[in-house]
Amino acid sequence: MSAFLGVESSLTGRKWIGPSTEVERQAEAISQHTSLPLPLCTLLAQRGIPPHEATGFLDPTLRELLPDPRKLKDMDKAATRILAGFDHNERIAVFADYDVDGATSATLLIDWFRQMGRQITLYIPDRIDEGYGPNTPAMETLAVDHSLIICVDCGTLSFDPIAAARAKGADVIVLDHHLGAETLPDANAVVNPNRQDEADAPGYLCAAGVVFLVLVEIGRLLREGGRKGPDLISMLDLVALGTVADVAPLIHANRAFVRQGLKIMARRARPGMVALADVAGLNEAPRAYHLGYLMGPRVNAGGRIGKADLGTRLLSTTDANEASAIAEKLNELNSERREIEARVQDLALEQAEDRGLTAPLVWAAGDGWHPGVVGIVASRLKETTNRPAIVIGFDADDGKGSGRSVSGIDLGAAIQKLAADGLIEKGGGHKMAAGLSLTRDQLAPAMERLTELLVKQGADDLGAADLRVDGILMPSAATIELIESLEEAGPFGASAPAPRFVFPDVQIMFAKRVGQNHLKVSFGDGLGTRIDAIAFGAFDGPLGPMLEQHSGARFHLAGRLEVNQWQGRLSPQLRLEDAAKA
């Protein structure tokens, strides 16, 4: 494919790829059918939306997109058993993962039961002492005092802990989305669209989405009996946060979950969400970006380096003062997490560079690396190299690691095979993210075998990530109205990236380093229109120095448009990602 605007190697070394001729033709057809702006039509064409479906796509509704809960295996068993537990006033516990998806999933259940006049027990394992998912001691302890244990965002591979709880007399239900093995644990029900025996299931859902479907089915059962349950629509703020923070693809029902959830969040009715937004400095209507980069990391901070249940306690509290106090604590932990992460990232990148950043698998391991940040550092390595990445922290001989993958490479399945073959202690996950535990002696052979498995999937053919752009814009066309129309195609996130445009042959009028490594730019085309741009992390690579010392040269600038608010004034701003000399 020919390079867009002839850019074979940009300032960051990337080839620019523009819309195909077929996409351009489809965009013209959509524009003629709908009279929508051509940049928006190009985005719809990139998504594969035909002209007659364009207006419907821009208004996603749960009524049309919500999967039928009853098509998921074990759904009837799970919904019936949970409702029976409520009706018989049983003691019920929810066992949740310590990340955002686990916290939002648990809060959905806590909120539902509370609105129905009941309290349930929350248990979240400590990341360091207990690791991911159900463990036998915790499950046995819960089983002594609870007749029903609901595992959310975990449990699909927890054979022994679930068997131990069942042996103590408790029923166990698993509501999860992680990749299943060929067999399932001996639970009363396992609702998971990524069970291996599922066909045409909504595997794109995160755990919060799965829990929501269970609550929808319970609501149907209540209505059949002439009863009324809580308003589930008001809980979509939780589903939205879990979906975005877990990097679930923003397609199908997930689009409606996030779109509607953001509207619920903007009402500022949930004390925990309000406190979280305030402590994150969010002073505008929330967008998917805010959930992923401002709010999600703070909820995660408790599970990463603090008390594991802080995030769930924040989201589930009805007390504004308690919410404010927990949010402040999470904010402090998030700052501490960033400092720890920076140290580990420097060491991991140095180690990975020594092995080669063009290998099919980029990995690093070190003593004392905090298990709460290895996943984030793996993500940074993946973004830097466009390769699957694994980062492992060791405490004596015991290692805990996390991995992140790139499109087309199923890391979760590969790590699950390592566990099945006994090359690691345990491991699993999904295509784009996975976790593992192993001993020091297992490290080298496990990484060697994992590399072989990823090569079979094509990881050795990966090159530098091309920069895909959606077309050209002139500065005068970058209006608030255009940005708002583009937002209608959102929310933007995993599998649904925000549109990226190129401003061709523009002059840089102002360039200044801001903060530690960011770049502030103003540019124009010489016809009177001037646009501000911000390039975050620009001085971590060649982009910042090259544009700061532009010496009057003209550039093509590529990035994503956003609305900047300053002193009550709205203006277009470019989130600058790349540049090339014109």
pLDDT of 581 strictly over 90 = yes
If asked whether residues 174 and 196 sit together in one domain, one would say: yes
* Whether the model pTM is above 0.85: yes
> What is the distance between the alpha carbons of residues 258 and 62, in angstroms, rounded to a whole number?
10
Sign of CA dihedral 252, 257, 260, 261: negative
Query: Could you tell me if residue 347 is inside a domain?
Result: no
Q: Tens of pLDDT along 181-236?
A: 999 999 999 999 999 999 999 999 999 999 999 999 999 999 999 999 999 999 99
Query: Could you tell me if residue 53 is inside a domain?
Result: no
* Cα-to-chain-centroid distance, residue 91: 33
pLDDT of residue 147: 98
Tell me which of 461, 484, 519 is where a domain ends.
461
pLDDT of residue 243: 98
pLDDT of 463 strictly over 80 = no
**Which residues span the domain enclosing 254?**
65-330
Query: Could you tell me if residue 37 is inside a domain?
Result: no
pLDDT of residue 421: 96
| H helix intervals, 229-290 | 236-245, 253-266, 271-279, 288-290
Q: Tens of pLDDT along 251-291?
A: 999 999 999 999 999 999 999 999 999 999 998 889 999 99
Tell me which of 432, 461, 490 is where a domain ends.
461
Both tokens assigned to 264: 């619920």
180: nearest Cα among 155, 150, 156: 156
pLDDT of residue 551: 84
If asked whether residues 526 and 452 sit together in one domain, one would say: no
Helix (H) or strand (E) holding 467: strand 467-468
pLDDT of residue 429: 87
Query: Could you tell me if residue 361 is inside a domain?
Result: yes
Query: Could you tell me if residue 416 is inside a domain?
Result: yes
pLDDT of 391 strictly over 80 = yes
If asked whether residues 409 and 326 sit together in one domain, one would say: no
322: nearest Cα among 305, 331, 334, 310: 310
CATH number of the domain where residue 261 is located: 3.90.1640.30
pLDDT of residue 132: 85
pLDDT of 526 strictly over 90 = no
CATH number of the domain where residue 362 is located: 3.10.310.30
Q: What is the mean pLDDT of the chain?
A: 95
The DSSP secondary structure of 197-218, one letter per residue, reads: T-SS--TT--HHHHHHHHHHHH
Residue 1: pLDDT band with limits 50, 70, 90: confident
If asked whether residues 453 and 475 sit together in one domain, one would say: no
If asked whether residues 260 and 293 sit together in one domain, one would say: yes
- Based on the structure, what is the number of domains in the chain? 3
Q: Tens of pLDDT along 537-553?
A: 899 889 999 999 988 89
If asked whether residues 279 and 419 sit together in one domain, one would say: no
Question: Can you count the helices (H) and strands (E) in the chain?
Answer: 21, 17
> What is the distance between the alpha carbons of residues 45 and 26, in angstroms, rounded to a whole number?
6
100: nearest Cα among 293, 278, 274: 293
474: nearest Cα among 507, 506, 513, 446: 506
- Most confident listed range (171-175, 492-496, 565-569): 171-175
Q: Tens of pLDDT along 330-342?
A: 999 999 999 999 9
Query: Could you tell me if residue 321 is inside a domain?
Result: yes
Residue 63: pLDDT band with limits 50, 70, 90: very high
Nearby residues of 523 by Cβ (< 8 Å), 6 or more positions away: 475, 503, 506, 507, 508, 509, 530, 531, 533, 555, 557
pLDDT of 242 strictly over 90 = yes
Tell me which of 402, 432, 461 is where a domain ends.
461
Q: Are strands 171-175 and 148-152 parallel, antiparallel or unpaired?
A: parallel
CATH number of the domain where residue 538 is located: 2.40.50.460
Q: Are strands 189-191 and 171-175 parallel, antiparallel or unpaired?
A: parallel
pLDDT of residue 490: 93
> What is the distance between the alpha carbons of residues 575 and 503, in angstroms, rounded to a whole number?
12
Query: Could you tell me if residue 509 is inside a domain?
Result: yes
Residue 568: pLDDT band with limits 50, 70, 90: confident
If asked whether residues 174 and 85 sit together in one domain, one would say: yes
- Most confident listed range (437-451, 457-471, 528-542, 560-574): 437-451
If asked whether residues 147 and 106 sit together in one domain, one would say: yes
If asked whether residues 208 and 250 sit together in one domain, one would say: yes
pLDDT of 128 strictly over 90 = no
If asked whether residues 225 and 288 sit together in one domain, one would say: yes
Contact 374, 401 (CB under 8 A): yes
If asked whether residues 400 and 447 sit together in one domain, one would say: yes
Contact 211, 108 (CB under 8 A): yes
Query: Could you tell me if residue 33 is inside a domain?
Result: no
If asked whether residues 293 and 387 sit together in one domain, one would say: no
Using H for helix, E for strand and C for coil, what is the string for 486-553?
A: HHCCCCCECCECCCCEEEEEEEEEEEEEECCCEEEEEEECCCCCEEEEEECCHHHCCHHHHHHCCCCC
The HSE-up count of residue 450 (CA atoms within 13 Å, CB side) is 32
If you average pLDDT over residues 58-70, what whole number do you get? Answer: 95
Helix (H) or strand (E) holding 395: strand 389-395
The HSE-up count of residue 383 (CA atoms within 13 Å, CB side) is 8
Q: Tens of pLDDT along 80-97?
A: 999 999 999 999 999 999
Q: Tens of pLDDT along 346-365?
A: 999 999 999 998 899 999 99
Q: Tens of pLDDT along 20-53?
A: 999 999 999 999 999 999 999 999 999 999 999 9
